[in-house]
Amino acid sequence: MFGDLKTTPLPVTHGASLAGYAELARSVGLDANVMLRSAGLNRHVLNDPEASVGLEAACKLLEASAEACGVEDFGLRLAALRDLSNLGPIGLVAREATTAMQALDTVCRYLCLISASLMVRIEHQNDLVAIRAYVLLPPSTRRKQAMELTVGMLYRIEVASLVRTVI
């Protein structure tokens, strides 16, 4: 479906994908610097939204953090700290959308600019809308927290857009 991930370069995301990590780690009793080092990441990725971050290392960080603090919904908690501003220019464009569906469509269409390994599709069928999120990684990579972070962020975008269009 997505090619041979064994022979393609490992997917990369940006430091923006870890926005709020240090605060969340601290709130659950983790040392963010220790967790970053154990995942092979440098602290600067938390301060530079444009920094390249190996997606496999980011997944390792999220999974190890969830295990270390015993918080199964770590990715969802990280998503709860996010808003459209974490998406940079994509968030600005989405914020100007006139409907919630337009905002979500904008984010889904351009999310690949933040991480080429994230694919989100919106499917319409009658009166239902399905949002399918894919994280393109080797099958052996644990990704539960990354998926929950992605889905949680999409949910927050949609709720924020709905509230804005109703008001």
CATH code of the domain covering residue 71: 3.90.1520
Instruction: Give the number of C-alpha atoms closer than 13 A to the C-alpha of residue 17, restricted to the C-beta side.
Output: 30
At residue 1, the pLDDT reads 45
Q: Which pLDDT tens digit goes with each residue over 94-132?
A: 888 888 888 888 888 888 887 777 888 888 888 888 888
> 78 lies in which domain range?
12-166
Q: Is residue 2 part of a domain?
A: no
Q: Is residue 7 part of a domain?
A: no
Q: Is residue 5 part of a domain?
A: no
At residue 166, the pLDDT reads 52
User: Structural domain tally of the chain?
Assistant: 1
Contact (CB, 8 A) for 135 and 56: no
At residue 71, the pLDDT reads 97
Rg (CA), the chain: 16
At residue 161, the pLDDT reads 65
Report DSSP state, residue 161. Answer: H
Percentage with pLDDT > 90 across the chain: 37
What is the spatial distance between Cα 17 and Cα 14, in angstroms, rounded to a whole number?
Answer: 6
**Range list of β-strands (E), the chain:** 12-14, 52-54, 118-125, 128-135
Q: Which pLDDT tens digit goes with each residue over 38-51?
A: 999 999 999 998 88
Q: Is residue 32 part of a domain?
A: yes
Question: What's the whole-number average pLDDT of the chain?
Answer: 85
To 10 degrees, what angle do helices 144-166 and 55-69 make?
90
At residue 33, the pLDDT reads 97
Q: Is residue 1 part of a domain?
A: no
Q: Which pLDDT tens digit goes with each residue over 142-157?
A: 889 998 998 888 888 7
